[in-house]
Amino acid sequence: SRTLSKLEVEPAEVIFSSQTDTAALQVIAVWQDGRREDVTPLCRFRSNDDSVVTVDADGGLETVGSGDTHVVVFYDNGITSVPVLRPRDGMGIASSHPSESKAAEPSIDSLVLEKLDKLGITPSPICTDTEFLRRVSLDLTGTLPMPNEVVEFISDTGDDKRNRKVDELLQRSSYAAWWANKLCDFTGCNPSQQAELGQETSAQWYMWVYERLRENVPYDELVRRMVLATSREDGQSYDDYAAEVSGYFRDDSYAEFAKRQTMPHYWTRRSMQKPEDAAQAFAHNFLGVRLQCAQCHKHPFAPWTQDDFKEFSCFFETLKYGVEPDSLERYRELAKQVGLNVRGDDGSAVPNDVLKQAQRGRTVPWRELYVRHRDAPQALSLLRSGNVTLGGSDDPRRPIMDWIDRPDNPWFARAFVNRVWAGYFHVGIIDPPDDLNPANPPSNPALLDWLVDGFIKQNYDIKWLHRQITTSQTYQRSWVSNETNANDRRNFSRSVPRRMPAEVVYDSVKQALAGTDRAVEVRTDLSRRAIGHLSMRLAGTYAMQVFGKPDRAVNCDCERANAPTLLQSIFMQNDPLIDQRLGESGWLAEIQRRQDDGNSPNHANLINDAWLRTLSRPPTKSESDRAADHLASADSSEDGLRDLLWALINTKEFVTIR
């Protein structure tokens, strides 16, 4: 049978100019023997947005409304797409924005503006300094700026102050803390799925990633140390391994584990013990590819077949978490010494009573990650990107890591860059961000290609990627829309307001209501932050559930919920946690102590500080006047200020990144 090489579609791009325009697609199949064939009548067509264009069974297009989307074409085992654009009515192609300078060399801004020109969209202006400071602080570090930081930033007259602020934020420990949290989202760090001591091992996982980000280890190297992780170092005896792991639990800082070169917990989860589950998770976590459907059938709108899935799953068949046969006798001896009941040859999870012995200094037996001997050599395909023959005791992860780390790998760098972009813009260049699929093409291919190419050339420097995005005009645009971009959510012509993530809401309430010294401690002591490893202990709590923190139980970025809900409003208004934060010895108590000492601050200063603490900006004159009236009529300054703080943290502005 003939093998399809690719599909070609004419026209390669469709641009409509009016409501009455139509177009017809012609699809050519290019076979590996060089022959070309018109297969248009045999294709299936799909519009990714019927509000922009519809397509019939013959490839005929009719415009519906302004905007842009893709028409996807399916034939045989081939998938391709055609971009379709219709500028706003009355706006021609390349309607320029004279106020916007375009760089001679490609950049984020020039590539975004080029697409906006085609659509007749005028971007929003640059946001204010206070909007930028709050936005970039929350996005980069998951942390509100301090009141004095806001004042200093406003008074800074340097033209490069935004770039300097980005560099400063990237050096803070809270940057590593917040983005370690995100990487734990991407890679599935779930306490309930850990094979041993879920809370502790998940916190170790988090702290290991945190240290790599703090050191700015290149992304490919960070992933390599996870993918190729081993429990034992080369040449390490089982006794030394058991003693080393037991030592990790002597304190709750997890610092010793974070010093490890590799991080095996990714592979030791219960959800990774079946090769089919491991294949799905690996493809999703590191490639942004969804293989779930291919386990049972060939999805009509996805490229992967059951054979693709089965071959990829075979790579993970020999990974094992248990007791290596050569160490079984010594494992049983140690288990007997500490009273660990062992059934079978695979070992047992360490219960809390045995853990306490490790915490007191005893050596406890631990299971380990190892590679079983493969019975016979196997020739396997890397998702149609090359073949590998595995045999004997070959570690199947090594050819996979070498493959994904190649500059020409179509998914690895692209998946990470796209996810990071989505973290800043609430939507990926490919969206959903975890569905890299020819039927789900990027909204701006040139932009994604430029970012991915730069990321690879910069040796996978994660901070380079953050810096490129946050210092761009595209990121710094106002959230206030104009008549041309009010409905734009995928071309980055404005900032789209989005709710704070669950962990950031939790920490922001704590920081905003804390006393001055305590607020500094909250910002810097990551062991008490929801964006820090406390996140593992908060998993499943009511506050985290209400604001959509993911359980990391499924292979889908959609598990983190970002939508505002009525329950969130009720939580902020009435939950005992909020009352506790307002009532404990925080800023209100600090003000009361000053009054008792005869140093009562005036109302204007209190009002200004309240706004800076919560909304990261000074109040407007109208807001200040209304707040002053309330404080003057309250039974006491403390009561009035409590009301004011409660009202401020219950505004939409407080929980919104805009």
CA dist 211 and 209 (Å) reads 5
> Residue 267: which pLDDT band, with cuts at 50, 70 and 90?
very high
Q: pLDDT per residue over 520-545, tens digit each?
A: 888 888 888 999 988 888 888 999 99
Q: pLDDT per residue over 268-326, tens digit each?
A: 999 999 999 999 999 999 999 999 888 776 767 778 888 899 999 999 999 999 999 99
CA dist 269 and 264 (Å) reads 9
Q: Name the one residue in this structure whose structure tokens are 């030791």.
A: 268
C-beta of residue 480 within 8 angstroms of C-beta of residue 494:
yes
- Positive or negative torsion for Cα 402, 405, 407, 408: positive
C-beta of residue 316 within 8 angstroms of C-beta of residue 282:
yes
CA dist 608 and 248 (Å) reads 47
The pLDDT score that the predictor gives to residue 314 is 92
CA dist 1 and 113 (Å) reads 46
Q: What is the mean pLDDT of residues 123-129?
A: 98
Which stretch of DSSP H or E encloses residue 302?
none
- Positive or negative torsion for Cα 308, 313, 314, 316: positive
Q: What is the mean pLDDT of residues 612-630?
A: 97
The pLDDT score that the predictor gives to residue 1 is 66
User: Helices 412-425 and 173-187 sit at what angle, rounded to 10 degrees?
Assistant: 120
Closest CA to 440 of 49, 166, 138: 49
CATH class of 4-90: mainly beta
| Pairing verdict, β 14-15 and 78-86 | parallel
Would you call 277 exposed, middle or buried from its count of C-beta atoms within 10 A (0-12, 13-18, 19+)? Answer: middle
pLDDT above 70 covers a percentage of the chain that reads: 96
C-beta of residue 568 within 8 angstroms of C-beta of residue 625:
no
The residues, any chain, with a CB within 8 Å of residue 340's CB and separated by 6 or more, are 334, 348, 350, 351, 354, 364, 365
CA dihedral 578, 582, 587, 589 (to 10 degrees): -150
Half-sphere exposure (Cβ direction) of 485: Cα atoms closer than 13 Å: 23
Q: Return the structure tokens found at 296.
A: 């049972």
Single-letter residue type at 147 = P
| Pairing verdict, β 36-38 and 14-15 | unpaired
Q: In what order do the strands lie in the sheet with 4-10?
A: 4-10, 26-31, 36-38
Q: What is the mean pLDDT of residues 118-132?
A: 97
Half-sphere exposure (Cβ direction) of 449: Cα atoms closer than 13 Å: 8
Q: What stretches of 13-163 adopt beta strand conformation (E)?
A: 14-15, 22-24, 26-31, 36-38, 44-47, 53-55, 60-63, 67-75, 78-86
454 three-state secondary structure: helix
DSSP tally for the chain: helices H, then strands E: 28, 16
The region that residue 386 occupies, defined by phi over 0 for left and psi between -120 and 50 for alpha, beta otherwise, is: left
User: Helices 173-187 and 502-513 sit at what angle, rounded to 10 degrees?
Assistant: 150
Identify which has the larger pLDDT, 658 or 536: 658
| N-to-C CA span, the chain | 55
319 three-state secondary structure: strand
C-beta of residue 108 within 8 angstroms of C-beta of residue 451:
yes
| Pairing verdict, β 368-371 and 319-322 | antiparallel
The pLDDT score that the predictor gives to residue 91 is 59
Number of other residues whose CB lies within 10 A of the CB of residue 619: 19
User: Helices 502-513 and 576-583 sit at what angle, rounded to 10 degrees?
Assistant: 30
> Which residues on adjacent β-strands are paired with residue 44?
74
C-beta of residue 87 within 8 angstroms of C-beta of residue 119:
yes
C-beta of residue 458 within 8 angstroms of C-beta of residue 417:
no
CA dist 69 and 64 (Å) reads 12
Single-letter residue type at 23 = A
My answer on whether omega of the bond before 11 falls inside 30° of 0, hence cis, is yes
Q: pLDDT per residue over 369-394, tens digit each?
A: 999 988 888 888 899 888 899 888 88
CA dist 287 and 434 (Å) reads 8
Number of other residues whose CB lies within 10 A of the CB of residue 395: 15
Q: Return the structure tokens found at 43.
A: 């294709």
Q: Which backbone phi and psi does 497 adopt, to 5 degrees?
A: -55, 140
Which stretch of DSSP H or E encloses residue 9?
strand 4-10
Instruction: Give 472-499 as a DSSP string.
Output: STTTTB-S---TTTTT-SSS-SS---EE
Lowest average pLDDT, out of 88-102, 462-476, 497-511, 534-548, goes to 88-102
Instruction: Check whether 102 has a pLDDT greater than 80.
Output: no
Q: pLDDT per residue over 49-80, tens digit each?
A: 999 999 999 999 999 999 999 999 999 889 99
Q: pLDDT per residue over 569-608, tens digit each?
A: 999 999 999 988 887 668 888 888 877 666 667 899 999 9
The region that residue 100 occupies, defined by phi over 0 for left and psi between -120 and 50 for alpha, beta otherwise, is: beta
Single-letter residue type at 119 = L
Give the start-to-end residue ranges of the domains of the chain: 4-90, 129-175+409-476, 502-547+564-657
Give a three-class secondary structure readout of 320-375: EEECCHHHHHHHHHHHHHHCCCCCCCCCCCCCHHHHHHHHCCCCCCCCEEEECCEE
C-beta of residue 591 within 8 angstroms of C-beta of residue 641:
yes
Q: pLDDT per residue over 449-478, tens digit each?
A: 999 999 999 999 999 999 999 999 999 999
536 three-state secondary structure: helix
Q: Return the structure tokens found at 228.
A: 């190729």
C-beta of residue 349 within 8 angstroms of C-beta of residue 200:
no
Closest CA to 478 of 37, 124, 42: 124
Instruction: Check whether 101 has a pLDDT greater than 70.
Output: no
Instruction: Check whether 416 has a pLDDT greater than 90.
Output: yes
